[in-house]
Amino acid sequence: MKIMSSAFFNKSKVIANDFIQNIVFLDDKSYIKEDTDGQERVNDLDAYEISKIFAKEKKICAVYDPESLEDISDFKQIASKSDIIILDWFIDINERVDEGNTEDDAEDDDIRGKYTLDIISGLISPDNSQRLKVVLVYTGETNLANISQKIKGINPNLSLDLDDLKLQTGKTTIFVRAKSNNQEGEDNRFNHLPNLKDKVLKYRELPDFLLEEFTKVTSGLLSNFALLSLHKLRSNTSKILGLYSKDLDHGYLEHKASIPNQDDAENLILEVFKDSIGDLLHYEKVHKSISKGDISKWITERLLNEPKPIKNGEGVLVNRDLQRNSKFLLNILYSKETDVEKRYVDLLTPLCTSKGQAEKYFKYLKTNNVDLFINTSQEAKKESYLTKFAILTHHKNVFLPRGVKPILSLGTVLKSTKKEIYYICIQQKCDSVRIKDSEERKFLFLPLVESKNGKFNFISNNGIKLQLDSKSYSIRTLKFKSNKDGVVEPKKKNDKYIFEQVYNKRSDEKFEWVLDLKDLHAQRIVTDYASSLSRVGLDESEWLRKAGVK
């Protein structure tokens, strides 16, 4: 088993280890210490020994021995809540192999892997595709490559590394490994398959293997921050519950009874709870986890000391390279100079031929700064890196569950079904809710166009860059009908959400939901638009106008 070792990765392992709390096993041949008859049973799982090993690592370990389809169904629910899932390959819930049999699990190919594949299929379904999961198929069989191929066959989105017996899709990683038939010595079953000898795991090797592989998925500055934040929330669950005690009920009901729009009481609690979590994480100083030391380690281990081509403001090469190194990057990131242009020019000038060249290079870096923080081999992914971070900071609907419809409100972006034009709703939230059932209401929109000049205001989930047209005459009104909940909802058609105008003819223009901007970003657009309306245009003496210009 190949073990990664670096300062940043080891720090990430500590954070991941603190986060991982529960591991669940599904094995129809699990037994406890009292059941053992002294025989070596490679297909069986010693639940007592497994639990003891993970207990030493301060992990909660549960071993499930299914006996019915209902047990399989229950385990699916448990697996969705677990950090790590470990599955036997062949699960026979209809008949058991005799306890003394040490041959491969069974000869019945009809059910071999049936339930394991079913569980994995659920874990990688569209509803779960963005959930981070590590799954280990831990089997007594030797045909590990064949098992890996069968797992790949359940979903075309699964990629397979046959050398490592590793499959991946979305945020889920699946490994196929063999149980050892000798927990203290060498397993001789793979002597004729030397390429698989490192794919055999003893019980005591499981915690390190799982932690290693989990960390490979999560070893990053922001993912470490997220893991640490979740760990702190888990550790302080009782504190949060103590804060939100039943003694608050009286005050909450008094508040709800006293306000004009009583549904706002629940929205207030949601906002207060979000603030409580933020306060707790701030108190725990989780944001300090992205330290200068960690960033220095990240740069040293992830970025090559390679030359970066210097370009001018138009992106044209100037026949000179900048020799990137960690010292230069840390100076960029931790300079005390608040004027960004001066910061860059001062640091770039010694590395360029002149201050003038440094100034030209800065003009290029203003919109291509990520070039300094990627390797040349990552150029093709540059746009993807920037898009993902921009979406996280701007989009409100990053957690919109499948099946939950969005509503039309401030910051909702729609796309016309008739032409390639997008619109952003600038109707204030208070005028977008609590509408009478079936009332027809006009909503205000500003048009958006796909960027053609490199300038854009925000980006869609599929990477389309959108530019705002905030001219006062560009505003458009569209009329929609509210539902019984007092909001305007779309209809779902072919996995898309479609808003239909009141004039509901087959030929009418309809609007596909694209995204919802976060409240403050949407409000900024409204403020900027209102400012454009307040401009004063008049004819006057040019001599007099210039006299007043400072």
- Residue 123, classed as helix, strand or coil, is helix
Distance CA 177, CA 187 (A): 13
Q: Alpha carbon of 347 to those of 319, 335, 353, 512: distances in Å?
A: 19, 10, 12, 47
More confident residue, 471 or 375: 375
Taking the model in full, what pTM does it have?
0.84
Shared-domain flag, residues 410 and 356: no
Radius of gyration of the chain (CA): 30
- The neighbouring-strand residues paired with 173 are 134, 168
Answer whether residue 127 is part of any domain.
yes
Task: Round to whole Å and give the CA distance between 308 and 377.
Answer: 12
More confident residue, 406 or 455: 406
If pLDDT is split at 50, 70 and 90, which confidence band does 548 have? low
Asked whether the CA dihedral 371, 377, 382, 388 is positive or negative, the reply is negative
Instruction: Indicate whether 108 pLDDT > 60.
Output: no
Q: Which one is predicted more confidently, 98 or 513?
A: 513
How many angstroms separate the CA atoms of 16 and 132, rounded? 12
- Give strand pairing partners of 179: 201
Residue 214: both structure tokens together: 């989990």
Q: Are residues 329 and 424 in the same domain?
A: no
- Residue 548 included in any domain: no
Instruction: Report yes or no on 322 lying in a domain.
Output: yes
Helix and strand tally (H, E) in the chain?
17, 21
Q: Are residues 366 and 418 in the same domain?
A: no
Residue pLDDT, tens place only, 411-421: 999 999 988 89
Is the model's pLDDT at 185 over the cut of 90? no
Higher per-residue pLDDT: 453 or 393: 393
In a domain, 47, yes or no: yes
The residue assigned the tokens 């794919």 is 199
What confidence tens digit (pLDDT) does each residue in 348-369 have?
999 888 899 999 999 999 889 9
Pairing of strands 30-31, 45-46: parallel
Shared domain check, 154 and 106: yes
Give the per-residue pLDDT at 99. Answer: 45
402 shares a domain with 364: no
Contact 43, 29 (CB under 8 A): yes
Same domain for 336 and 417? no
Residues facing 449 on adjacent strands: 467
Q: Evaluate whether residue 19 is within a structural domain.
A: yes
Of 142, 161, 133, the C-alpha closest to 90 is 142
Kindly tell me if the per-residue pLDDT of 114 is higher than 60. Answer: yes
Residues present in the chain in total: 550
| Residues 114 and 170 both lie in one domain | yes
Average model confidence (pLDDT) across the chain = 87
* 442 in the same domain as 334: no
Q: Of 323, 343, 373, which residue sits at a domain end?
A: 373
pLDDT digits (tens, 9 = 90+) for 43-101: 788 899 999 999 999 999 999 999 999 999 999 999 988 999 999 999 988 644 444 44
Read off the pLDDT of residues 201-248 as tens digits, 9 standing for 90 and up: 999 999 999 999 999 999 999 999 999 999 999 999 999 999 999 999
Question: Last residue of a domain, which of 219, 244, 268?
Answer: 219
Mean local confidence (pLDDT), 147-160: 94
Regarding whether 318 and 406 lie in a shared domain, the answer is no
According to the model, what pLDDT value does residue 462 have? 85
Beta pairing, strands 133-139 & 172-179: parallel
DSSP state of 98: P
Query: Is 3 a residue whose pLDDT tops 60?
Result: no
Of the listed ranges 127-131, 189-193, 442-446, the one predicted with least confidence? 127-131
96: left (phi over 0), alpha (psi -120 to 50) or beta: beta
Residue 141 included in any domain: yes
User: 46-50, 109-113, 514-518, 542-546: lowest mean pLDDT where?
Assistant: 542-546
191 and 46 in a common domain: yes
Angle at 69 (CA atoms; ends 65, 75), nearest 5 degrees:
55
Check residue 447 and give its pLDDT. Answer: 92
pLDDT score recorded for residue 62:
93
**What pLDDT, on the 0 to 100 scale, is given for residue 272?**
94
Q: Identify the CATH number of the domain in which residue 130 sits.
A: 3.40.50.280
* pLDDT average, residue stretch 382-392: 91
Asked whether residue 280 is domain-assigned, the answer is no
Q: Compute the average pLDDT of residues 516-531.
A: 87
Which residues are 450's β-sheet partners? 466
485: confidence class by pLDDT, cuts 50, 70, 90:
confident
Same domain, yes or no, for 365 and 462? no
* Tokens encoding 478: 């569209």
Structural domains of the chain, count: 3
Which of 65-79, 180-194, 386-400, 509-523 has the lowest average pLDDT? 180-194
**279-327 confidence digits (pLDDT tens):** 999 999 998 889 999 999 999 999 998 889 998 888 888 878 888 889 9
Quote the domain boundaries for residue 63. Answer: 7-219
Residues 310 and 409 in one domain: no
Q: Token match 């997220």: residue?
A: 226
pLDDT of residue 110: 64
In a domain, 205, yes or no: yes
Contacts of 21 (CB under 8 A, 6+ apart): 59, 60, 83, 234
Q: Is the dihedral of CA 248, 250, 253, 259 positive or negative?
A: negative
**Single residue among 339, 373, 407 that ends a domain in this structure:** 373
Compare 535 and 89 and report the one with higher pLDDT.
Answer: 89
